[in-house]
A and B are shown apart, each in its own frame.
Chain A
């Protein structure tokens, strides 16, 4: 069990629903202004000033997570501009040529792989060290997975995306080893691209085999896959060598809940219980109902409670309100479970589980 190490010493209930976030959080407005100043050639605001601004933001948001009462926190990805670009800038073999269209007037600085990819400088170790120094709670590290890094890049070098993804998986493995050496015990691999091309689940599986090689058993590994047609990757993903799946079900009104009931869900489940696309803050009661839906899939000791996805597109006060209510809801469900007031049986494991 990798999960129990995250139970706070002063946890008030017998039951423990691990509360955490997926990763990104709205950046303070002044951090955007600091970036603009840093990028403005006429400004005296230099790299050192911008680093200090990012440190301040990381400190602020880590503490904001703790004020919400979350059991496992992160820095809200204050240092990252985008989930592929950030990593591509740190990997040898990538270059940037300019923005490309995603839809309408929304663009993405899609990088090109123009040479063999190699591990150059650390990606997240200093981010982790800073955050864990600031935090009193354990820190989770979200990291973009190799399939998404490959799929959302131009590939000028490798025969196909799979080959590029496997090479990148080796680099992700190297980074996770460094994170573990630095003390990280909870790593979440983000693979949003799998949601859009679910037929590639075997490639993601092979990537994960490479990623987990030589990672100590006590390190908790999660996989986050954003909203998509989960029936096309389930139950195949149960074969993946990770402890926990983090999925986005709230946005779809839990229509896909039943997908995970047959065959029995054999991993830990991190389920989205607040919608990151809706600006209304869900009430504690509403979130409690959502948590009860998760209990139809896994027992409480295998449940993690989180938002559907990163919350960076929400106004900051809304993001805060959602996290705060989410933690309250989890604590109330725990107390009700302790008191025997909740009677939900997850499906019994079938004979071949």
Chain B
């Protein structure tokens, strides 16, 4: 029997009141963005945001609850931008989106800040079960950053993986950890680098006692990359069925999957709200196409982060995901 688990990769849109209040409290220039040492007024606004995020997920009956990452001004580059030994430079494009983040430049040895653990611990107090952590995957975080300290890209990727492992080690007890890895698709690792990207996933996954989901999106992994990621010590692998279902199914058919998979079946970047029936159909379709794999658990999720959406549609999508049929999927 396959268990269907509804969840999201986090990075939620701020409630509209918080967009206004935080713009006033912090400013809207690049030097005003999050640095990890916010004053009490800003902290309190974010606490309220966190509570709203958690309440919305509970109201939607999602099986996994994320902190919502309201503070992540720089999207998945966040864990680095709050680091004292990381300088933030210009505003650069966030993948192929009309969104921008501050380029983090590493110019000293990296060590954990505990920033993500602190915000998740604050959220954990409000969640009885099903807590889920979200971190960037090591390959993606290294890809978004610039290195001016380590000898080469190989050493840098290993250092980022160690850094994320230390961050993961400080997290409170969680059921699941999502490692967001869009760069594995968007800027695919080359020969040799693909194996190291897989080892980097191992480093982070081994640092935590939780189910670890490696979640690539905006397309499908190249076959060689897929094969290497399959070697990693992860519990589940993600498939963005919204942006490319054919190649994702092909990979799952051709190379198999871990026991669990995370299926991106709700569009995180479009306001059209999928019905729970559509979501269920998409999950069933993937199962039928890959009958050779016997899934223990399928995470049903948005295909991307959801900060791209206006708040009303974001909340409707959470509700649709929470209403997905939990019965056994006929494979």
Given contacts A156-B272, A193-B98, 11 further A-B contacts (CB under 8 A): A98-B311, A99-B16, A99-B19, A99-B310, A100-B309, A103-B99, A104-B28, A110-B310, A112-B271, A154-B269, A196-B96
User: How far apart are the CA atoms of A193 and B97 in the complex, in Å?
Assistant: 10
**Is A155 part of the contact surface with B, judged by Cβ < 8 Å?**
yes
Contact between A154 and B270, CB atoms less than 8 A apart:
yes
Q: A100-B13, A105-B23 are in contact. Are A155 and B270 (CB under 8 A)?
A: yes
User: How far apart are the CA atoms of A221 and B274 in the complex, in Å?
Assistant: 42
**Is B313 part of the contact surface with A, judged by Cβ < 8 Å?**
yes
Contact between B16 and A104, CB atoms less than 8 A apart:
no
Contact between B313 and A97, CB atoms less than 8 A apart:
yes
Contact of A97 among B29, B93, B312 (CB under 8 A): B312
Select the residue from B16, B19, B33, B94 with max chain A CB neighbours within 10 A.
B19
User: How far apart are the CA atoms of A104 and B98 in the complex, in Å?
Assistant: 12
Chain B interface residues (CB < 8 Å from chain A) = 13-14, 16, 19, 22-23, 26-30, 32-33, 73, 91, 93-94, 96, 98-101, 269-272, 307-313
With a CB–CB cut-off of 8 A, which chain A residues contact B13?
100-101
12 contacts between A and B (CB under 8 A): A97-B313, A98-B311, A98-B312, A99-B19, A100-B307, A101-B19, A101-B308, A105-B32, A154-B271, A156-B270, A196-B96, A197-B96
- Write the chain A residue with the least CB distance to B26: A105
User: How far apart are the CA atoms of A152 and B99 in the complex, in Å?
Assistant: 11
0 or 1 for each of A83-124: is its CB under 8 Å from B? (1 = yes) = 000000000000001111111111100101010000000000
Chain A interface residues (CB < 8 Å from chain B) = 97-107, 110, 112, 114, 151-152, 154-156, 193, 196-197
The distance from the CB of B317 to the nearest CB of chain A, in whole angstroms, is: 12
User: How far apart are the CA atoms of A105 and B31 in the complex, in Å?
Assistant: 11
Interface of A (DSSP majority class):
mixed
Contact between B100 and A103, CB atoms less than 8 A apart:
yes
User: How far apart are the CA atoms of A98 and B23 in the complex, in Å?
Assistant: 16
- Write the chain B residue with the least CB distance to A197: B96
User: How far apart are the CA atoms of A300 and B308 in the complex, in Å?
Assistant: 45
Contact of B98 among A102, A112, A114, A156 (CB under 8 A): A102
With a CB–CB cut-off of 8 A, which chain B residues contact A152?
98
With a CB–CB cut-off of 8 A, which chain A residues contact B99?
101-103
- Write the chain B residue with the least CB distance to A153: B271
Contact of B308 among A100, A105, A151, A193 (CB under 8 A): A100
User: How far apart are the CA atoms of A156 and B313 in the complex, in Å?
Assistant: 12
User: How far apart are the CA atoms of A156 and B317 in the complex, in Å?
Assistant: 14
With a CB–CB cut-off of 8 A, which chain B residues contact A102?
98-100
Contact between A97 and B101, CB atoms less than 8 A apart:
no
Select the residue from A106, A114, A197 with max chain B CB neighbours within 10 A.
A106
With a CB–CB cut-off of 8 A, which chain B residues contact A105?
19, 22-23, 26-28, 32-33, 73
In order of increasing CB-CB distance, the 4 nearest A-B pairs are A98-B310, A103-B100, A97-B310, A156-B272
Contact between B312 and A196, CB atoms less than 8 A apart:
no
With a CB–CB cut-off of 8 A, which chain A residues contact B16?
98-99
Contact of A103 among B19, B22, B91, B270 (CB under 8 A): B91
User: How far apart are the CA atoms of A255 and B271 in the complex, in Å?
Assistant: 40
- Write the chain A residue with the least CB distance to B307: A101
With a CB–CB cut-off of 8 A, which chain B residues contact A196?
93, 96, 98
User: How far apart are the CA atoms of A196 and B307 in the complex, in Å?
Assistant: 20
User: How far apart are the CA atoms of A22 and B33 in the complex, in Å?
Assistant: 31
- Write the chain A residue with the least CB distance to B97: A196
Contact between B310 and A100, CB atoms less than 8 A apart:
yes
Select the residue from A101, A151, A154 with max chain B CB neighbours within 10 A.
A101
User: How far apart are the CA atoms of A248 and B213 in the complex, in Å?
Assistant: 44
Q: A98-B16, A154-B270 are in contact. Are A103 and B32 (CB under 8 A)?
A: no
With a CB–CB cut-off of 8 A, which chain B residues contact A110?
310
